[in-house]
Amino acid sequence: MEKAKVSAIQLFAMMFIFELGSALVVSLGIDAKKDAWLAVLLGLCGGIVLFFIYYYLFRQYPNLPFTGYARKIFGKYLGWIIGLLYVVYFMYAASRNLRDFGDLLLSSTMTETPLLAINILMVLTICYVLYLGVEVIGRTAEVFIVILIIFGFTGNLFVYFSGNIDFNHLQPFLENGWKPILTTAFPLVTYFPFSEMFVFTMLLPYLNQTKLVNKVWLSALISSGLILSYTTSLNIAVLSVEEVERTTFPLLSTIRKVNLFEFLQRLDALVVFTFLITMFFKIAIYFYGAVIGIADLFKLKKYQHSLLPAGVILTFLSMTIASDFSEHIQEGHDITSYYIHIPFHIIIPLFMLVITFIRKRFKNKVH
């Protein structure tokens, strides 16, 4: 572990931007149709429940990253294998987000640029920032969260003033009953994006006041969840459910409809810049979780040594995980949510919780 320290505000900024990530621009929770915004709020509640599991484990070992206390709980060998599986998972998640980023840029602004060129540039930038250390990511997040808020506020003003919002698109409430809302919220929205905060278990030892973890994490989770729910309802109010379902990036279509005085038009750049910022942090934090894990498991003196090789693997993965974007989205919906997120975000942490709990009770009885 490096000797750096991150302040509570910096951790909040990183968590908040990470959580918005790609969830801000895709059609989050749209399987629940007009009640997608409610599915997002219920998914947030699921994310809060999972937070308490992660937080309890962190409190037992506040100075270790997740790969460190996996070995304490499961034993030296099994814990090492589980730590390695999480490193692979963090790399996979980073590559999926890198693919999201490349494909949005391709479809929105850089239509003639090869996907590989976009991904390589992003990975090189991330490697450079990570080489400088976690404090630099924290300070960068502090600056960019202000820019994001300004972009969000400006974009919303333009959408409201251009008169494209029709609240009838959100009615009737509970048109198809509770079933589609609940099946969308659990598991899909709970896992993406709310349980993805799990990766911060690799970064929490860097916080300079570890007693503030619960306040920082919960406030970042809730505030980003409310913004995602609001953005989903705004997209539906402007575009209608049918169009949101057809559109790959609904937020982009929403902002494209802005037309003020035949003068202010084509504000796609606002969304593309927002996406660039949120995805930079999301990919960087997943990638950082992976290289910290590699350094911890293989006892490297400096995690920087593994940055470039891991960066090459990340770029290769992002190009090969799917043949095209629709296959990539389908894989995320059908495979990642069930076969990857359930074991990595729920089953293994729950096992760890139970083992830790039993050990504590046993220790207390012995004493």
pLDDT of residue 162: 87
Give percent of the chain above pLDDT 70: 99
More confident residue, 212 or 266: 212
Q: What's the chain's average pLDDT?
A: 92
Q: Could you read off the pLDDT of 267-289 as tens digits, one per residue? A: 888 888 999 999 999 999 999 99
Residue 229 has pLDDT above 80, yes or no: yes
Q: Taking Cα atoms as reference points, which of 264, 271, 265 lies closest to residue 235?
A: 271
72 Cβ contact partners less than 8 Å away, ≥ 6 residues apart: 61, 64, 79
Task: Give domain 8-366's CATH superfamily.
Answer: Amino acid/polyamine transporter I (1.20.1740.10)
Is the pLDDT confidence value at 328 over 90?
A: no
- For residue 12, give the nearest of 218, 229, 301 by alpha carbon: 218
CA–CA dist 329, 295 (Å, integer): 31
Q: Quote the tokens at residue 111.
A: 């239509």
Q: pTM above the 0.85 mark?
A: yes
Could you please report the per-residue DSSP string of 96-122? Answer: HHHHHHHHHHHHHT-TTS-HHHHHHHH
Which residues are CB-neighbours of 266 under 8 A, at least 6 positions away? 256
pLDDT at residue 1, rounded to an integer: 59
To which residue do tokens 């300079």 refer?
Answer: 208
**Residue from 304, 311, 248 nearest 283 by CA:** 311
Identify whether 62 is preceded by a cis peptide bond (ω within 30 of 0): no
Structure-model confidence comparison of residues 1 and 277, the more confident one? 277
The stretch 68-74 carries a mean pLDDT of: 95
pLDDT in tens, 98-134: 999 998 888 878 888 999 999 999 999 999 999 999 9
C-alpha distances out from residue 76 to 54, 57, 68, 198, 266, Å: 21, 17, 10, 22, 56
**Helix runs in 21-133, H state only:** 36-60, 66-74, 76-108, 115-132
pLDDT value of position 258: 87
Q: What is the pLDDT of residues 140-162, one digit of tens each?
A: 999 999 999 999 999 999 999 98
> Does 262 score more than 80 pLDDT?
no
Does the pLDDT at position 331 exceed 80?
A: yes
User: Using an 8 Å Cβ cutoff, are 249 and 104 in contact?
Assistant: yes
pLDDT of 102:
92
Closest listed residue to residue 156, CA positions, set 223, 224, 230: 230
Residue type, 119: N
Tallying the residues shown for the chain, one arrives at 367
Span 89-103, mean pLDDT? 94
The span from the CA of 202 to the CA of 287, in Å, is: 11
Provide the pLDDT for residue 188: 83
> Please, are residues 134 and 125 in contact by the beta-carbon 8 Å criterion?
no
**Secondary element (H or E) of residue 140:** helix 134-161
Peptide bond into 309 cis (omega under 30): no
- Collapsing DSSP to helix, strand or coil, 166 comes out as coil
Structure confidence at residue 330 (pLDDT): 85
